[in-house]
Structures are given as C-alpha cells and as structure tokens.
Amino acid sequence: MALTASISTANRPRASREPQSARRQWWSRFALRWIVLAVLLALWQLATMAFPSPFFPQPIRIFERAALLWLPGPNGVLTPSMLNDVLPSMGRVLLGFAISVVLAISLGVAIGLSRKFADYVDPIIQFLRAVPPPALIPIFLVLFGTGDEMRVLLIAFGTAWPILLNTIDGVRSIEELKYETATVFRISFVSRLKRIVLPGAAPKILAGVRTSLSLGLILMVISEMVAASSGIGFSIVQAQRGFGFPDMWAGIVLLGIIGFLLNTLLTVIERRILAWQRSSGRETA
C-alpha cells in the first residue's frame, strides 16, 4: 500500500511530503492568488494615474462610487440604486431562470425518455437553440410589450436550451440495466422518475444549468440595455450616455461580483446534489 502511494507521488515530484509543509503550501498558494490580484489592482491604479483617460477612471474612484451607489446606509436603508436597479435585475434573472429550469428539465426528461417524441421535435429544437436570443428582442418587444414580462421570458427562452439539451443527454445516458432493475422491483413510473431518471441525469443537468447561468446574466443585461427604465444594464447605459464613467465601471464590477456569487451558490448546490460523485465543473456543449 505504502509503495503504490509513494510511486504516485513520484510522478509529481513537488507534491507535499508532510502535513506541515502541505499546510504551508496551501497558505502560500492562497497568498499567491491574492497577492497577484492586489498587484494587478495596484498596477491598474498606477496606470490610470499615469495615463489619465476619462474612459478609464481610477479603480479607487470606481470602488468609491460602487460603495456609494449600493452599500446600504448606516441605518440599513437601501440606496435608490439598490432598489431601482439591482433588485429588479436580480428578480428578472432569477424568475426567468426558474421558469427555464422547470420547463427545460420537464421537457428534457420527456424527450430523453421517448425516442419518438424526440424525432418529432428535434429539428425545431435544433433551430430554436441556434437562434441568438438577443436577435429575438425586437420580436419579443412586439409580442410581449416593453414590460418585465418580455425580459423574464427572453431570459427563460435563452437559458432553456443548454439545460434542455443536457437533460436529454443525461436521461439517455442512464443504462438500461437501471430501468430493468426498477422493473424487477416493480417500482412505479413516478418513483422511477424521482429515483432513477433525475438523479442519473443530474450531473449533466447541472452542467447545463451552469452554462445557462452566464447566459442568463448576458440576457438580463442586454434586455435592460435595449428597452428598460431600471436595472443594472439600464444604469450602465445611462451612465455611459451621461458621461458618468466611474458609475459605468461600477456597474460592470457589480455584475462581475453578482456573477461570481451566483456561480459560487450554484457550486454549493451542485456539491450537495452530486455528493455521490465528483463533478468536474467542465462546460459541455
């Protein structure tokens, strides 16, 4: 036993040799990441100071504006930007995403289970998923008006495809033997769905959800930029048109942070659901 372990460390000569140095290595890695980040921020600051450009404000100004715009006051009162831009944006993207997840998984399970059904709808799906969702904005404006319905539906429509395709793929990847086992134990159709199909397809489904999440943010922003009177996308465009470049940058940074947080949240959910298998977090088409 000891030897096989040693041989595998031999493949990676720099692997940790004792717990103490392992911990030290963890710390040095941790420090390395943040030091590099800090150095780059500092360089960014210095560069903007050395070569002033209105389009590229100093990061310090950007973070100042961001704090002013979104951090709640000392008495916990939410700022107008938080109320008018951030919360509506989050509401739209989460609602659209929720609709998409529910519909895409249900439809995907149905298609994945029935080859016939799949044959009927396959060309339609192949076409619809290939339409770049922003190209639909004018049509959605005509069909659903300029209100939030249009934005929520656009997000739902655009994010549905990766989840749908991955669900189909995931359902199809379940071995026949699992169904046969279920048949032998006389397990009902509904509990087969719950106990075999969904868990079996879960890794793929979640990979699709991950891809869709960044798509959802893109659609949220673009839909707010084209036609809205609130939202983070709207505020970025307004700032640009009003020459409020620090505000524009603050919006971009905020979107990065929101994306990061949503992604982290998804990772936590994924870990819980997929505790039985190690997920690679790899993107799939």
Partner 1 sequence: MLNIEHLTHTYGTGAKAHLALKDITFAVEPGELVSIVGPSGCGKTTLLRTMAGLMRPTGGDLTFLGNEITSVPEGLAMVFQDYRGSLFPWLSVESNVRFPLKRLGLSKADLDARVSESLVAVGLTGFEDRFPFQLSGGMQQRVAIARALAYRPKILLMDEPFASVDAQTREDLEDLVLSVKKKFNMTILFVTHDIDESVYLADRVVVLSKPPTFVVTTLDIPLSDNRDQIETKEDPEFIRLRGEVARLIRHPKSDDVTIPVADVA
Partner 2 sequence: MSAVATVPVRRGVTPKVTRGLIGVAVLLILAESVSRLGIIPGNILPPMSRVLLDTAGLIVDPEFLHDVGSTLTAWAIGLGIAILVAVPLGLVLGSFRIAYEASSAVVEFMRPIPSVALIPLAILVFGQGTDMKIALVVYASLWPIFFNTVYGVRDVDPVAKETARTFRLSRVGILARVSLPYAAPLAATGVRISAAIALIVTISAELLAGSASGIGSYILRISSGGGDTSLVFAGTIVAGLLGMLINFVLVAIERKIFAWKKEGVA
Which residue of 116, 186, 272, 278 would you call a contact of partner 2, by CB under 8 A? 116
User: Does 184 engage in binding with partner 2 (CB under 8 A)?
Assistant: no
Q: What DSSP element (H or E) covers 164?
A: helix 148-172
Q: In which region does residue 76 sit, left (phi positive, over 0), alpha (psi from -120 to 50) or beta (all else)?
A: left
Which residue of 9, 34, 77, 149 would you call a contact of partner 2, by CB under 8 A? 34
Which residue of 72, 119, 189, 194 would you call a contact of partner 2, by CB under 8 A? 119
Furthest-apart CA atoms within the chain: distance in Å = 74
How buried is 124 (Cβ within 10 angstroms: 0-12 exposed, 13-18 middle, 19+ buried)? Answer: exposed
Interacting residues of 172 by C-beta distance below 8 A, sequence separation 6+: 112
User: Residue 14, SS3?
Assistant: coil
Indicate the residue among 23 and 194 with the shorter CB distance to partner 1: 23
User: Does 124 engage in binding with partner 1 (CB under 8 A)?
Assistant: no
Residues near partner 1 (CB under 8 A), total: 11
In order, the DSSP letters of 259-279 are HHHHHHHHHHHHHHHTTTS--
Best CA proximity match to 219, nearest among 263, 255, 251:
255
Indicate the residue among 68 and 143 with the shorter CB distance to partner 2: 143
Give the interface segment with partner 2, choosing from 60-68, 147-155, 170-178, 194-202 (CB under 8 A): 170-178
Which among partner 2, partner 1, none contacts residue 214 (Cβ within 5 to 8 A by kind)? partner 2
Answer for the pair 140, 150: CB distance below 8 angstroms, yes or no. Answer: yes
Residue type, 275: A
Which residue of 153, 164, 250, 255 would you call a contact of partner 2, by CB under 8 A? 255
| Contact flags string 93-112 toward partner 2, x per CB under 8 A | --------------------
| Contact flags string 12-51 toward partner 1, x per CB under 8 A | -x---xx---------------------------------
Residues 73-92 touching partner 2, rule: CB under 8 A, are none
Helices of type H across 12-147: 19-50, 59-70, 80-81, 87-113, 115-130, 137-144
Indicate the residue among 5 and 124 with the shorter CB distance to partner 1: 5
Residue type, 47: A
Closest approach of partner 2 to the CB of residue 127, in Å: 5
Indicate the residue among 24 and 77 with the shorter CB distance to partner 2: 24
Contact set with partner 1 (CB under 8 A): 1-4, 6-7, 9-10, 13, 17-18
